Amino acid sequence: MDHGALVLVEIGALILGIGLLSRLASRLEISPIPLILLGGLAFGEGGFLPFTQGEEFIEIGAEIGVILLLLMLGLEYTARELVSSLNGSKTAGLIDMALNAVPGALLALLLGWGPVGAVAMAGITWISSSGVIAKVLQDLGRLTNRETPVVLSILVIEDLAMAFYLPVLTALLIGAGLLAGTVSVVIALASVTLILYVALRHSRLVSRLVWSKEADVLLLSVLGLTLLVAGLAEGANVSAAVGAFLVGIAISGPAAKHAQRVLTPLRDLFAAVFFLFFGLSTDPADLVSMLVPAVGLAIVTMGTKLLTGYIAARRAGIAEPGRWRAGFALMPRGEFSIVIAGLAVAAGVDRSLAALATGYVLITMVAGPLLARIPDSARFMETTRRIEAKRRARLTAGG
């Protein structure tokens, strides 16, 4: 069988496998993410039957998956809602950084990876996975919940912070001078500002640019614009996800509504490819040596993310159930954490950091979507109702 045929066979088998795992997840009433990740582990590096063909297709498909997930999130909100949410979440962003960056940095220092390793691990434990969280919110039907803008504002703040963090980390890793690092940060910040300005001030123009009554024309226009902006953003050391999210924000009215409809099947396909790719690129053997610290770090920082979301939602005036939903939703880490680990190891930091980051991310990506269902359980909802009733009673008595 020639190479082209093998590529088609393997990709077809993988996509069919995703479909079967998603059906199983639906019957079990859980998110398909953990099952797809575990399936990727089984057929990836060091798995039972390693996937050897079509790696480039899967890798590019994974990037497109994250971009589409964030684009679709952006389409749910207007520029005004974004600005209002960001203005109200500045303090939550600082709390998020303090609670979640410190555990990773401390562990790196304890393991003897030095200050640069500590900076890398701080980023790995700080940044939640926008792609995973977007999929979880979609699966659980929470895109229109009151706490969702709070979750999104924290994710946007994190992604925007990456525009500063990644150039600084890169400069530290390669030993670049202050000037080089400063130039990178300025370019990244200018790029974000430009994209945000267009999204806020010229959303009608952007919407007119892509709008068409023809579904295929609308699909091609929105997808092409999103990939173009995402690529330019990444080229300026800004997250492609930020670019895609802001394109979604910039599209409004009928264009946004119809774009959601035509893009949904494409998003579902490539989002599944993203989670599959992560599992395929992970060698289970690499996880063994760092499994204990990865589990410990995951437990600590899932707890700190839970606290972050709870505090942020409470500050936004969200009721008790929504506070818990916000906290649980923020737990998964993902694409940024792996990118940071790759940069650090390539620059000479201890290779164990990559194994720790991989195990850590995998644990949070599997556990996060499962734990996110807890606030919707009858027992948990009853408990939160009691807590809310007691709080109101105390406030009434105090008044």
Give the start-to-end residue ranges of the domains of the chain. Answer: 56-390
Q: Which of 63-77, 102-116, 366-380 has the highest average model confidence (pLDDT)?
A: 102-116
The number of residues in the chain equals 399
The pLDDT tens digits for 8-29 are 888 888 889 889 988 988 887 6
- Which residue do the tokens 């940069």 mark? 343
Q: Residue 360: is it exposed, middle or buried by C-beta count within 10 angstroms (0-12/13-18/19+)?
A: buried
pLDDT at 238: 66
Share of the chain above pLDDT 70, in %: 86
Average pLDDT, integer, range 83-101 = 82
Q: Shortest CA distance to 67 belongs to which of 167, 134, 144?
A: 134
- Residue 285 to residue 45: CA distance in whole angstroms: 9
Q: Residue 214: is it exposed, middle or buried by C-beta count within 10 angstroms (0-12/13-18/19+)?
A: exposed
Determine the CATH number of domain 56-390.
1.20.1530.20
pLDDT surpassing 70 at residue 299 = yes
- Residue 46 to residue 304: CA distance in whole angstroms: 33
pLDDT at 121: 94
Average pLDDT, integer, range 258-280 = 85
pLDDT surpassing 60 at residue 119 = yes
Is the separation of the CB atoms in 195 and 163 below 8 Å?
A: no
Q: What is the mean pLDDT of the chain?
A: 83
Q: How far apart are the first and last CA of the chain?
A: 79
Distance of CA 97 to the CA centre of its chain: 16
Q: Shortest CA distance to 22 belongs to which of 11, 42, 36, 40?
A: 36
pLDDT surpassing 90 at residue 50 = no
Residue 88: helix, strand or coil by DSSP? coil
Q: Taking every pair of C-alpha atoms in the chain, what is the biggest distance, in angstroms?
A: 79
pLDDT at 13: 85
- Residue 248 to residue 259: CA distance in whole angstroms: 9
pLDDT at 352: 83
Q: Which two tokens stand for residue 335?
A: 């694409």
Comparing 217-221, 338-342, 353-357, which segment has the lowest mean pLDDT?
338-342
Higher pLDDT, 394 or 371: 371
Q: Which two tokens stand for residue 375?
A: 């606030």
Q: List, in order, residues 6 or more apart from 105 with CB less than 8 Å away.
A: 118, 119, 121, 122
pLDDT at 85: 64
Comparing 69-83, 220-234, 297-311, 360-374, which segment has the lowest mean pLDDT?
69-83
Average pLDDT, integer, range 311-315 = 91
Average pLDDT, integer, range 311-337 = 89
pLDDT at 330: 95
Instruction: State how far the alpha carbon of 23 is from the alpha carbons of 6, 30, 31, in Å.
Output: 26, 10, 10
pLDDT at 194: 77
- Residue 329 to residue 345: CA distance in whole angstroms: 29
The pLDDT tens digits for 57-84 are 888 888 898 888 878 877 877 767 667 7
The region that residue 328 occupies, defined by phi over 0 for left and psi between -120 and 50 for alpha, beta otherwise, is alpha
The pLDDT tens digits for 144-181 are 898 998 898 898 888 777 767 776 777 777 665 556 66
pLDDT surpassing 60 at residue 136 = yes
pLDDT at 203: 78
Distance of CA 57 to the CA centre of its chain: 21
| Total Cβ atoms within 10 A of residue 230 | 27
pLDDT at 340: 81
pLDDT at 82: 67
Average pLDDT, integer, range 210-231 = 91
- Residue 163 to residue 167: CA distance in whole angstroms: 7
